Amino acid sequence: MLNLNNRRRAIYFRGYTTAVSALAVNRPEDNFASTTGSKDLQRLPRLGPKTDRSPVFFPGTQLRHLIREALLVGACRASGGKLPLQDHFMLMQGVPIGELAKELSSFSMDGVVEREDGLRAKNPIIGLGGFWKFSGTLGVNDWIPESQDEPCYYIHKKMRAMPFKRNEELVRLVADNDIEKLKRIMSEDMDIARKARDIDTQIKDLKKAYATASSAEKKNIGEQISDLEATKAHIKNSKEGATETLERPVEGYEAIVPSTRMRSGIDIARANEMDLGFVLYALRHISLHPYVGGHYADGKGEFALDWTVRTWGDDLMEPVTLGTVKVSLLDFSITDHPGSTVLSDALRRAEDAFANPQKHGLDFSVFNPSAR
């Protein structure tokens, strides 16, 4: 039977992520203007050019962060509940702060030879996640919809409404001396919303004209747009209530359609049994709340994973299947391949390591690659 303690080897998780609910992500650099929305519409990332026709994907970095966060929680439990802030930044983001930043900034990786008893063995969490001078061994793939032939995403739009109009019963719960103020705010909100829409229409028309205008005309159009935006800002800032009008359409955001199946996976380079166990430990923790991306308040973000785990190396004649891993809301399972207990053994070893780090020679607050 394969023994991961004899040598480090690459471990591959491959299979699918299912969007249980719609999945959205808010990365401003992904936005672009098109016939379906302005540059302010929150877009999904694209494979290739930023156009409506380019295939969408969901960034694997979202899951990688969840794994690092889960391992941080394990490290805190192992230390009795809490860790210093510098450990939080290193374990979760790979960013040194304070005195640790000074220590590591002066450390050179030149001539450093990684040994079996080095930093990766002493602190598997930082070994997997890495930091800016020390490469992590955990790689997480982006989630790619299995089929781009059928619509795999949609635009979620909504309308903000004045709650006192939607439910008039709320009015009787307002203090008596605020009723007149509420009336002014509601009247003002409707008036300013109309004025803001008129200005937005003018700006949109000017931006269309800008594309075919001459250099002189573009300068004039730019000044008009700036003046209109300043006028709109002044109107909003003069309101008695909230700066933004409460009753208005919201442009929305793109979201991957629920039930969409996406190719996904993770890799662990040069993994031993402890590294594999730590990843399984993290995936089990994630099953408590398997949500990624933005707009949780709209019910977005739930996902499920279904992966087969394999390995191969120059000491093996063919790829070896270790088993399967499934993650979903409040449900986690690993199934060892017949004749193998590699996955379940690795998870048990990780559980024991978090319960008693010293027994396994671990220290989750060590980050210097020269550590022995």
Contacts of 121 (CB under 8 A, 6+ apart): 127, 272, 274, 361
Burial of 176 by CB count in 10 Å (0-12 exposed, 13-18 middle, 19+ buried)?
A: exposed
pLDDT at 246: 52
- Rounded to 5°, the CA angle 29-35-37 comes to 45
Residue range 12-22, pLDDT digits in tens: 999 999 999 99
The one-letter amino acid at 34:
S
126 backbone φψ class: left, alpha, beta (φ>0; ψ -120 to 50): alpha
pLDDT at 240: 55
pLDDT at 39: 85
Range 3-38 burial, b when 16+ CB lie within 10 A, else e: ebeeebbebbbebbbbbbbbbbbeeeebbbeeeebe
Distances, alpha carbon 127 to alpha carbons 71, 105, 114, 353, 367, in Å: 12, 18, 11, 15, 9
Nearest-angstrom CA–CA distance, 147 and 152:
8
- Is the CB of residue 303 less than 8 Å from the CB of residue 366? no
How high is the mean pLDDT in each 10-residue block of the chain (372 residues)? 81 98 95 88 95 96 98 96 95 92 80 74 96 92 91 83 77 88 77 74 84 84 87 69 55 94 97 97 98 95 98 90 98 97 97 97 92 62
pLDDT at 365: 95
Spell out the long-range contacts of 327-334 with Cβ–Cβ below 8 A and sequence spacing 24 or more.
Answer: 327/283, 327/284, 327/286, 327/287, 327/290, 328/20, 328/287, 328/290, 328/304, 329/20, 329/287, 329/289, 329/290, 329/302, 329/304, 330/287, 330/288, 331/287, 332/283, 332/284, 332/287, 334/280
pTM of structure: 0.82
**Cα 153–chain centre separation:** 18
Q: What's the chain's average pLDDT? A: 89
